Structure 1
Amino acid sequence: MKTIYTIVLCFISSLVFAQQDQLEWPREIKAGDNYIVSLYQPQLETLKDNKLVGRMALSVKDDKDKIIFGALWFEARLSTDLESNTAVLESFDIPKIKFPDVDNEEHINILKSIIIKDMSAIDIEMSIDNIISSLESIAEDNEIDDKLSNNPPTIYFRQEPTVLISIDGDPILKKVDNENIEYVVNTPFFIVKKKSTFYLKGEQNWYQSNTLVSKDWNTTKSVPKDVKKLADKKFDTPDKKEEGDKSTPNIIVVTSPAELIITNGELDYKPISGTSLLSVDNTESDIILEIDTQTHFVLLNGRWYGTKTMKDKEWRFVEPKSLPESFKSIPADNESYAAIRASIPGTIEAKEAMYEQYMPQTAVVDRKTASTKVEYDGDPKFE
């Protein structure tokens, strides 16, 4: 498909909306003879006084029905007509427009200016009822967000190789047919019980313990033959170790949300230039120490947690807006801090992450080669 730049050159002054009900979406803009730009129903975010802020998806389609999707963020003045129950978006401005597959800012800016120019000449009408409904929905979502639990998971910190084994809730044991063995159903790991002993298969190592949910797992060479046979026959095990890695990790088995932070030995700090912060260098986790308060911060799954002790279960949730001000000074030109900056409010990376969140995602599936494999735990049961 030709680039967005080519499409932009096709945007001539004959741009017009398709003849259709002004309250219907998507709206179509014809671009030359070969392209159609479709604007999808706006997703509203805020309305203060008469200034409406929102976003909308858009697509560009060529004469071969190939489509590029994007999104734009807009600000507009809202003019209402209560008698007709309609509102018109005026003084339309686009602070941001983004296409995932187009990196050239010059081309995008040309497209942006053309869309603004033509939208300023067109009355974009919306139903007042739809505006109210959309804003009420946002308020409800924000209320739900406020009620979401911010209780931290149990965070374990280890300075030696360790594997976190998760069980989804209380262990569910199921007896293996014709065997004196029970296996744990609600975990992807191979864990079985024979008599009073639990066995766990981890890569090349076997572990055993008399207590399932614990840290008291020890490596063993004495594994019953029928347990080994079952492991080979029915269950997938974690990926094999990388070549040269001969360490035997410790095991922690949990039944509730938990995270594991591992360092290669004692914490190894390095200064973050331009700040009073230190980062931990010998870990794959994003850990930062604020020197002034001696608080460690860790970023896990997009959420921040803090502690002064690094001990298990002594971490607290940290609101992004409550992060130290010095976090915003973490260098943007260091790629190793990209994920961190994307989770710090006010940074360019955080804004980009928000934009990406709203971008339409598409994928092409080859019907000839696509296949689906469904595996069942026992015989399938359809209801």
Structure 2
Amino acid sequence: MRQGISVAIVAILLAAPSLVVPARAAPGVTTANVNFRTGPGTSYASMGTLASGTPVEVGDCDESGAWCAVSQGDRNGFVSGQYLTIDEDPTAWPRAFTTDGGATIVLHQPQVTAWDNFTDLSALVAAEYKPGKDADAVFGVIGLKGKTQADHENNDVVISDITVTELNFSVLGRDQLGDLSLEVGKLLPTDPITLSMQRLTASLAAYEQLGDVEGLKSDPPPIFVSESPAILVQTEGEAVEAPIEAVDGLTFVVNTNWDLFKVTSSGDYYLRDETSWLTGKSLSGDWQQATSLPEVLSKLPDDDSWKDAREAMPPTPFADGRAPKVVYSDKPAELILLDGEPKLETVPGTALEWVSNTETDLFFYTASKTWYALFSGRWFSATSLDGPWTFATTNLPDDFRKIPDDTPYYTVRASVPGTSESDEARLKAMVPQTARVETDGTITGSVEYSGDPEFKPIEGTELAYADNTQSQVIQVGTKYYLLQDGVWFVGDTPNGPFSVATSVPEAIYEIPPSSPVYNVTYVRVYDTEPGAVWFGYTMGYLGAYLAWDNLVYGTGWYYPPYWGWYGAARYPIYYPRPVTYGIGAYYNPVRGVYGRYGYAYGPYRGIGRASYYNPRTGTYVRAGGSYGPLGSRGFVAAYNPRTGSGGFAAGGHNIYGSWGARGVTGVTGGAAWARSRGTGLTSASAARWRTGVGTAGAGYSAGRRPGDNVFAGRDGTVYRNQNGQWQQRTGNGWGAVKPPATPARTVPQATRPATRPNLPQTPNFQARPNISSHPNIQVPQARNVPSNIRADQFGRQLGNQMMQGQRMGSRPAAPQVRAPSRGGGGFSRGGGFRR
């Protein structure tokens, strides 16, 4: 028998039961000198001998795995499976092991049956057991479970405490069942293992039915369209000008997404666009290129708040000699920026046409002559690009579900209800990022208020939230709960002291979406233990919500920012609130988060930036410089001003990692904690079934192609599909039955971290499209693109270089970062660099 076949448990838990593995060869090698025969048996003629160690390609094997089809060079024949080692194929089933006692255990394609609270994973495996060489195979079901910790930053799930929960072999006696239990237990891994989160969510997405959040809004934002270079300047309400410390005669606009200054002597505005500047008499008026700057601008303080502006002096002329058009809005808005007139490309197999010369997801539906645009996960439609626009997610043409996955715009499928990509996005959004937080008093929370604490009531509840602070403080009765970087603290006064909370009142989880602190309802206590609390948050904490059978960004509600004044000089204080629009948010299926890239929306990624006066330092604090190592470009998770300013850079959204970045010990990511209890396993390649108890059976590791056809039912019944006919194992034979039915699923009223999946009793065997396939993207030829558009496109490129390459656990090398050129050349929008 062949030796040393290691079988990855990642396949046990992740193989999607709906997928059919196509017939294909697996690389293998002979383990002894063996006859190369014309047929599967010793009665067939030998074509010669294959020497031990001969590389071969192994195809289908027979029912018992005794004979396998083999290719060697240009010859095709059969070899005894007993003398083959087949390189591991994690998608091929079934798998077989021979125990030291001579029994054979065959494991068939498993089904993940539940991921309760996204912390406890369960699976069922149809199995065959032969107590001896000449004994008949007995079919049954093995149940497995394990504890999970999601590692979103590495796109992994760590599984620990793997145990057998069920051995359902009705025809075995007590002694035989005990022997089988012992042998199966020997095969299980004893250390934590790591597997791909994307494969896990892909395998569950077809079964999982998650409830939509009630109370989100779908009103369209102001949508502007420009066919020439343009930028979108936004303020929340009327522009508010603030003085700059030690600089007389100059103010800056606090509540905008740009470096925007006003010279008080002339009343002229100066707007920084990269290293170039524009000037205008009013925000909504005409803007011109500024060839020089007033001397007062050179007096900006030499600190991080003004670093970008100081480095842009003297101004650089626009490379193409034209200043971009400035579009102004006093509320969060969106911009469709076109490189000339819309260029339409046919979407194969549909009546859709894709607009290829814009970074907006924009389509034209020829059947109804309607435009469709995607913003923050919501679709809007109009018969003219000039509007009016109406919400369209709930009545998208079916052709959107037919968008091929080998096109540069395929990722919009993640925002099309009813697609597998949308199902997976929704499921992934509910997988919690967890952390173990010690409660020995070394970790405390802190709050800064602008003056005395001010609390506002939360509509529909008896709670109140702190208004004049960037922190999230909720008053519940006489207690005050502070949520800081994914950790709940509790104190007796609004100012603390705050200690780690071991529980959170359920009343907090009744906060409605109309409240600006709604996102706190997505952070929970998941477990407690002596000396520590396990906290976890899902994507709602970062602003992504389940609605309209889709995953969207933002609640759609407008939350007025906080305005206040500090000191005798009357410095304005501005605390922004979460926004839905105005940041160019889009969903990145690989990273599983909403992000923003758009330079046309401002160097600080849109309207949700923070500017406030810090009473401790006497200076303004302007968020924007802490967005990440790629500066103001590249993928940045959609920033929520109420959840910190530095935790979401470069595509990561591990809030708990920000504690360690500040030098705080005692907050350990759940995945890191689980791994630390094992032997340091960190990748799926280290996740193995233990094979030291015996040998892996020949032939089965290659799988019965095309696809394993034996499945486990939750009731302990074993099914198979034989030539299109469903059969059920009864006693020692197979009998015809109807296909296993999928029970109706109950949809919960609202989806929060505590929601448990409602999974079907048996697998859904109908194949479905899957984002795991690697699309063969055709990259369009580069075009000459105006510099302003090119800056946006380069930002998108940096953030999405891994989009096509990082498929189901594959991690390419980090992209090479270079500064964008603002003159000459072109940029290709399609292919792997397109979101």
Q: Please give the range of the TM-score, normalised by the shorter of the 2 chains.
A: 0.5 to 0.7
Q: Secondary structure at the match of 1:282?
A: coil
Q: Does structure 1 residue 4 correspond to structure 2 residue 6?
A: no
Is 1:357 the counterpart of 2:466? The answer is no
Pair 1:254 & 2:344 matched: no
Distance 1:68 1:164, change over 3 A: same
TM-score in terms of structure 1 length: 0.58
AA aligned to 2:242 is: K
Q: Is the 8 A contact 1:182 1:193 kept in 2?
A: yes
CA RMSD of aligned residues (A): 4.4
- For 1:186, the equivalent position in structure 2 comes to 255
- The CA deviation string for residues 130-171 of structure 1, in whole angstroms up to 9 with x for no partner, is xxxxx9xx7xx74423xx2x2111111111111112223332
Quick check: 1:327–1:344 contact (8 Å CA) kept in 2? yes
User: 1:39 and 1:4, CA in 2 relative to 1: closer, same or farther beyond 3 A?
Assistant: same
| Equivalent residue in structure 2 for 1:307, among 370, 382, 391 | 382
Q: Which has the bigger relative contact order, CA under 8 A and spacing at least 6? A: 2
Quick one: structure 1 residues 297 and 348, their matched pair in 2 at CA, closer, same or farther if it must change by over 3 Å? same
Q: 2:324, 2:614 → 1: CA distance?
A: 36
Alignment correspondent of 1:325: 398
Pairwise CA distance, 1:264: 1.0
1:38 pairs with 2:137: no
Aligned partners of 1:189 and 1:236 also within 8 Å: no
The verdict on how the C-alpha distance between 1:228 and 1:167 changes in structure 2, with shifts beyond 3 A counting, is farther
Change (3 A) 1:211 1:27: closer
Q: Distance in 1 between matches of 2:11 and 2:398?
A: 44
Q: 1:346 to 1:186 in 2, by over 3 A?
A: same
Q: String of CA shifts for 1:292-347, please: whole Å, max 9, x gaps.
A: 22111011121111111211x522221x23011222222x3324232221222212
1:336 is matched with which residue? 408
User: Equivalent residue for 2:290?
Assistant: 220
Instruction: Give the SS at the match of 1:171.
Output: coil
SS at match of 1:304: strand
C-alpha spacing 1:237/1:154, structure 2 compared with 1 (3 Å): farther
**5+ unaligned residues in a row in structure 1: which ranges?**
13-24, 30-34, 41-57, 70-98, 110-134, 365-371
Q: Write the distance in 2 (CA, Å) between the matches of 1:353 and 1:362.
A: 19
Superposed displacement of residue 377, structure 1: 5.0
For the residue of structure 2 that corresponds to 1:235, the secondary structure is: helix
Cα distance in 2 for residues equivalent to 1:306 and 1:6: 42
Partner of 1:200: 271
Compared with structure 1, are the counterparts of its residues 165 and 236 closer, same or farther at alpha carbon in structure 2 (3 Å cutoff)? farther
Check conservation: 2:225, 2:385, Cα contact below 8 A. yes
Equivalent residue for 2:231? Answer: 163
2:409 and 2:190 mapped to 1: Cα distance?
Answer: 42
Shift of 1:269: 0.7
Within the candidate set 176, 197, 208, 1:100 is matched to 197
The answer to whether the aligner puts 1:295 opposite 2:365 as a matched pair is no
Quick one: distance in 2 between partners of 1:28 and 1:316? Answer: 41
Tell me the secondary structure at the aligned position of residue 221 of structure 1: coil
Distance 1:232 1:215 in 2: 31
Cα distance in 1 for residues equivalent to 2:340 and 2:300: 36
Distance 1:143 1:104, change over 3 A: closer
Change in Cα spacing, 1:305 to 1:102, as seen in structure 2 (3 Å) is closer
Q: Deviations over 1:251-293 (max 9, x none)?
A: 2232201011111111111111111111111112111111122
Distance change >3 Å, CA 28–CA 263, structure 1 → 2? closer
Matches within 5 A, 1:56-205: 60-61=159-160, 66=192, 68=194, 99-100=196-197, 102=199, 142-145=213-216, 148=217, 150-178=218-246, 179-195=248-264, 196-205=267-276
Give 3-state SS (helix, strand or coil) of 2:364's partner.
Answer: strand
Structure 1: distance between partners of 2:388 and 2:616: 44
Q: Structure 1 pair 7/307, CA: closer, same or farther in 2 (3 Å)? A: closer
SS of the counterpart of 1:336? coil
Instruction: Answer whether contact 1:276 1:291 (CA < 8 A) is retained.
Output: yes
CA deviations over 1:53-77 (Å, ceiling 9, x no partner): xxxxx962269975658xxxxxxxx
1:183-207 deviations in Å (ceiling 9; x for gaps): 1122342111112221112122221
Once the two structures are superposed, residues 15-63 of structure 1 have per-residue CA deviations (whole angstroms, 9 ceiling, x without a partner) of: xxxxxxxxxx97799xxxxx971379xxxxxxxxxxxxxxxxx962269
Which one-letter code corresponds to 1:155 in the other structure?
Answer: I
Aligned mates of 2:612, 2:190 — CA distance in 1: 45
Following superposition of structure 1 onto structure 2, how do residues 261-300 of structure 1 map, counting pairs within 5 Å? Answer: 261-300=336-375
Whether the 8 Å CA contact 2:414–2:422 is kept in 1: the answer is yes
Identity among equivalent pairs (%): 29
Residues 117-137 of structure 1, C-alpha deviations (whole Å, 9 max, x = no match): xxxxxxxxxxxxxxxxxx9xx
- CA contact 1:38–1:60 (8 Å) conserved in 2: yes
Helix, strand or coil: the match of 2:215? Answer: helix
SS at match of 2:432: coil
Judge conservation of contact 2:249–2:263 (CA < 8 Å) in 1.
yes
1:354 offset after TM fit, Å? 1.6
User: 8 Å contact 1:190–1:236 — kept in the other structure?
Assistant: no
Is contact 1:338–1:349 with CA below 8 Å preserved after alignment? no
Query: What number of residue pairs does the alignment pair up?
Result: 272
Counterpart AA for 1:198: Y
Aligned partners of 2:120 and 2:145 also within 8 Å: no
Structure-2 change in CA distance of 1:7 and 1:152 (3 Å): closer
Q: For 1:267 and 1:154, locate their aligned partners in 2 and report how far apart those are by CA, in whole Å.
A: 20
Give secondary structure in 2 for the equivalent of 1:342.
helix
Quote how far apart the aligned CAs of 1:363 are. Answer: 8.8
**8 A Cα contact 1:36 1:60, kept in partner:** no
2:201–2:428 contact (8 Å) kept in structure 1:
no
Counterpart residue type for residue 413 of structure 2: R
1:37–1:59 CA contact under 8 A, matched in 2: no
Q: Secondary structure at the match of 1:350?
A: helix
Aligned equivalents of 1:354, 1:152: Cα separation in 2: 22
One-letter amino acid of the structure 1 residue matched with residue 272 of structure 2: K
CA distance in 2, matches of 1:325, 1:287: 16
Q: Residue type matched to 2:397 in 1?
A: P
The aligned counterpart of 2:809 is none
Q: CA deviation at 1:104?
A: 12
Report the Cα distance in structure 2 between the residues aligned to 1:6 and 1:333, rounded to whole angstroms.
24
In the TM superposition, residue 379 of structure 1 has moved relative to its aligned partner by: 4.0
CA contact (8 A) 2:380 2:391 kept: yes
Q: Which amino acid aligns with 2:430?
A: Y
8 A Cα contact 1:277 1:290, kept in partner: yes
Letter in 1 for 2:262: K
Would the alpha carbon gap of residues 259 and 285 (structure 1) be closer, same or farther in structure 2, given more than 3 Å must change? same
Cα 1:231/1:253, change in 2 over 3 Å: farther
**Deviating more after overlay: 286-295 vs 347-356:** 347-356
Over 3 Å counting, the alpha-carbon distance change for 1:3 and 1:267 in structure 2 is same
| Deviation at residue 5 of structure 1 after TM alignment | 3.9
Letter matched to residue 278 of structure 1:
E
Considering only CA atoms, is the larger Rg found in Structure 1 or Structure 2? Answer: 2
Q: Is the 8 A contact 2:227 2:341 kept in 1?
A: yes
